[in-house]
A = this chain, B = another copy of it.
């Protein structure tokens, strides 16, 4: 136990695998084996090596690891850090990763395809062990091409036919159905959906899925074969303009289902401003159950897709893929309704105003 001084006169101060090896009196390869807990290591050897690692506070260089083998890092790609739903996903990922020896590194693509591509490439170049892409913008063929080089799990990306990578989703069709069913149960018949403007999102996007679910539930409720869906632009001046126009429409519906809380909350603000009472004049139901929706001031009913669970499930799927699974998996979570005052006065909170 003489942890006196390094025996060989090393002038470099970094503790490498070699330092550990000489300190423990074993070979470099042995230390490597212990760390990766590979086959063919006796308990005695393992003990000696772990003691040395402890004593020297040795940390393997991630860069060097990546050059040859595993880097024990997984990359997470976020489309947008502003959406309050995404932090939940991260929390889920970190939760699963914490007890393992993996770590997450996050990149933010800001919804730009260019940046998204280059971040994915960077993560590959870092020899990361796997990727979790949250609501990626890239088409499925491109993702499949990347998936050849690195295990990929896509979250919030509906392509159940993908064979090269896994997907993890809340069932967005079902979520929209639940919203419509809730509105119907409150007695509303004149229902419209506020969806996302044309150019955003291809067929695989969550928005389109919610539209499909909306249509199906409306038809099933006997409310016409082509229920009304309004498209709201995403950029800021036009967005509010479109909502104001909607609110002041003569034939404004009695209830509205918004594709996302972000839109629903802005709608609530504008409604208050324009004297449209919620829910007396207009019932509103959002999607995501973001923390803001839960505020007493806002009190927005919303569909809850547990971001945390999505993150957890995606991480487990990724790890199993890293460890050898090749058949693709496509996992669905079932979302649920959180009722609040914007749906009906008997929501679950006290009255406003």
Question: Is A121 an interface residue when CB atoms closer than 8 A count as contact?
Answer: yes
Question: Is A269 an interface residue when CB atoms closer than 8 A count as contact?
Answer: yes
- Let me know if B103 and A122 touch, CB within 8 A: yes
Partner pick for A84 among B64, B84, B121, CB 8 A cutoff: B84
Taking CB atoms, residues of chain B closer than 8 Å to A86 are 81
Question: Is A174 an interface residue when CB atoms closer than 8 A count as contact?
Answer: no
- Let me know if A110 and B127 touch, CB within 8 A: no
Pick the interface stretch among A25-33, A55-63, A313-321: A55-63
Question: Is A91 an interface residue when CB atoms closer than 8 A count as contact?
Answer: yes
- Let me know if B127 and A61 touch, CB within 8 A: yes
Pick the interface stretch among A1-9, A249-257, A293-301: A293-301
Taking CB atoms, residues of chain B closer than 8 Å to A105 are 105-107
- Let me know if B108 and A106 touch, CB within 8 A: yes
Given contacts A87-B81, A297-B268, contact A353 B350 (CB under 8 A): no
Question: Is A36 an interface residue when CB atoms closer than 8 A count as contact?
Answer: no
Q: How far is the CA of A265 from the CA of B292 in the complex (A)?
A: 10
Partner pick for A60 among B73, B94, B103, B125, CB 8 A cutoff: B125
A28 to chain B, nearest CB (A): 16
Question: Is A199 an interface residue when CB atoms closer than 8 A count as contact?
Answer: no
Partner pick for A265 among B62, B82, B110, B297, CB 8 A cutoff: B297
- Residues of A52-81 at the interface with B, using a CB-CB cut-off of 8 Å, are 59-64, 66-67, 71, 73, 81
Q: How far is the CA of A352 from the CA of B350 in the complex (A)?
A: 18
Q: How far is the CA of A143 from the CA of B107 in the complex (A)?
A: 24
Q: How far is the CA of A295 from the CA of B298 in the complex (A)?
A: 10
A224 to chain B, nearest CB (A): 32
Taking CB atoms, residues of chain B closer than 8 Å to A121 are 59
Q: How far is the CA of A292 from the CA of B300 in the complex (A)?
A: 14
Partner pick for A63 among B59, B91, B125, B272, CB 8 A cutoff: B125
Question: Is A273 an interface residue when CB atoms closer than 8 A count as contact?
Answer: yes
Question: Is A247 an interface residue when CB atoms closer than 8 A count as contact?
Answer: no
Residue in B closest to A266 when the chains form the complex, CB atoms: B295
Question: Is A119 an interface residue when CB atoms closer than 8 A count as contact?
Answer: yes
Partner pick for A350 among B59, B63, B273, CB 8 A cutoff: B273
A296 to chain B, nearest CB (A): 3
Taking CB atoms, residues of chain B closer than 8 Å to A81 are 81, 86-87, 90-91
- Let me know if B125 and A62 touch, CB within 8 A: yes
Taking CB atoms, residues of chain B closer than 8 Å to A107 are 103-106
- Residues of A100-133 at the interface with B, using a CB-CB cut-off of 8 Å, are 103-108, 110, 115, 118-119, 121-122, 125-127
Partner pick for A66 among B60, B63, B350, CB 8 A cutoff: B63
Sample of 20 A–B contacts (CB below 8 Å): A61-B127, A62-B122, A62-B127, A63-B71, A63-B125, A73-B126, A81-B87, A81-B90, A82-B84, A94-B110, A103-B107, A103-B119, A104-B108, A106-B108, A126-B126, A265-B295, A268-B297, A269-B295, A272-B352, A292-B295
Hey, which bits of chain A sit against chain B, CB under 8 A? Answer: 59-64, 66-67, 71, 73, 81-82, 84, 86-87, 90-91, 94, 98, 103-108, 110, 115, 118-119, 121-122, 125-127, 265-266, 268-270, 272-273, 291-292, 295-298, 349-350, 352-353
The 3 closest A-B pairs by CB, nearest first: A269-B296, A63-B66, A106-B106
